[in-house]
Each structure stands twice: as C-alpha cells, then as structure tokens.
Amino acid sequence: MRILLVEDDRELCRSLKLMLERQGFDVTVSNDGDEGLFLILENAHDLVLLDRMLPGMDGMEVLRLARRQHITVPVIFLTALGSLDERITGLDCGADDYIVKPFAFEELMARIRCACRRPQRLTDTEGLVFGDLVYRREQNLLECRDQTCTLSKREGDLLSLFLQNTGQTIPRQTILMRVWGPDAEIEDGNLDNYIHFLRRRLRSVDSRIGLQTVRGVGYRLTEQPE
C-alpha cells in the first residue's frame, strides 16, 4: 500500500516514514503544499496523510483542489489545530479523518485501517465510465453498447477500483487491501481467480476494455483501438 505523507516537520516525517515502512507501507514524503498537491493529483497513492499548516499552499486548500479534480483517495489530516470548529472544517472540506498532534502511532494505524475499510466515493452517480464500458454499481450491472451482464459483488468491487484509477497500474497488495480489506486473510490465487472472472465478463459484452497484467507489479485497465 502506497502512502503519501505531506508534512513540513522533517523530524516527524523521518519518524513516521520509518515506522510506516516497518509496517510494510511504501511511503512518499513531501514537505510543502504545492508539491503535495502535485503528488496527490498524480493519483498514485492509496492514502494521504496531510498536515494543515504547510509552506506554500496550506493543507485545506490542497485538499479542496484535489477533491475538485475528483481525486477520491482517502485523506487523514494530521494537525495541531484541534478545536471542534477546526475539526469540523477539515472534515467538511473532504477529509476522511482528522487526528490531532501529538498522537500515538497505534492510533494512527487504527485510523489508517479504518479509512482503508471504507468504500471509495463514486464520482459519477450515473455510473462509472471508461471507453465503451458503463458500470452501474447499485445494480451490479455492466453495460457495453447494447450488451449487459450482472457482476457479483466482489467482481463489481474489483472493477470499480480499476474504473476509479484508469491509466494506473494497481499493485496486487493494494487490490487485496481495497477489495478484500486490510485484515482479510486471503491467498494470492484468489485475486488471480477474480481477475480471470472479470476478464471473462468483459469478453462476454464484447468490450474493447481489457485487464493487462503488469508483471511483478499488478494490473491495469487498457483500451484496444477500434
């Protein structure tokens, strides 16, 4: 799982990066708001830990601009601003959680697990669209031109993840965490089985969209030319 840490306290960054990496996370660090926004807009991370008071653009503005660009990655504010009004303002601008400094690392880990268990926000209430595909999550219905098929819940969750991250290679560990949950005990072979099921569904509706295996990393959605 890839975490982006946007924090100007360099000593805290070093400490958190070390502890998170010991837990198996891949951590990218940024020390100012402008660079942090650039990295968030790349949409290459699974979770963002964001300070509110940053050099350049402050954390609130970073988050507002990211949400306006339909970036749905979970964001947890890490901040010394702990009044009730400040917490409400932070959550209302699009944060998934808000933790006040100083905090115990165990609490941060619990909040990370909680954020990862939440379903990702859908940015299109009419359906997720890519190429010739439309996936309507409420009905678990996959549409391609005049053909349709129904997906299982697990197939739908898997497809939703890819459709919300088009153009991105999603690592296997990230897929397992997002679709099955961070605490699930699941064998790698189960993911391979569901990738096979989903490829079969895509073929059944004659879609030009396919799932490409990126060897040693994970999978990504691709579109074949007409």
End residue of a domain, out of 61, 96, 117: 117
Q: Is residue 143 in a domain?
A: yes
Shared-domain flag, residues 177 and 108: no
CATH of the domain at 191: 1.10.10.10
Beta carbons within 10 angstroms of residue 205's beta carbon = 17
Q: Model-level pTM?
A: 0.57
The per-residue pLDDT for range 162-201, each reduced to its tens digit, is 988 887 888 888 888 778 876 667 777 889 999 999 999 9
State whether 6 and 108 are in the same domain.
yes
The CA distance from 155 to 141, in Å, is 11
For 198-221, what is each residue's pLDDT tens digit? 999 999 999 999 999 999 889 999
Same domain, 105 and 134: no
Determine, yes or no, domain membership for 159: yes
Enclosing domain of residue 43 = 2-117
The tally of domains found in the chain comes to 2
The pLDDT value recorded for residue 141 is 92
Q: What mean pLDDT is predicted for residues 81-91?
A: 84
120 — pLDDT class (breaks 50, 70, 90): low
- Whether 16 maps to a domain, the answer reads yes
Q: Given this model, what pLDDT does residue 44 score?
A: 76
Compute the average pLDDT of residues 87-105: 88
**Which one of 87, 117, 147 terminates a domain?**
117
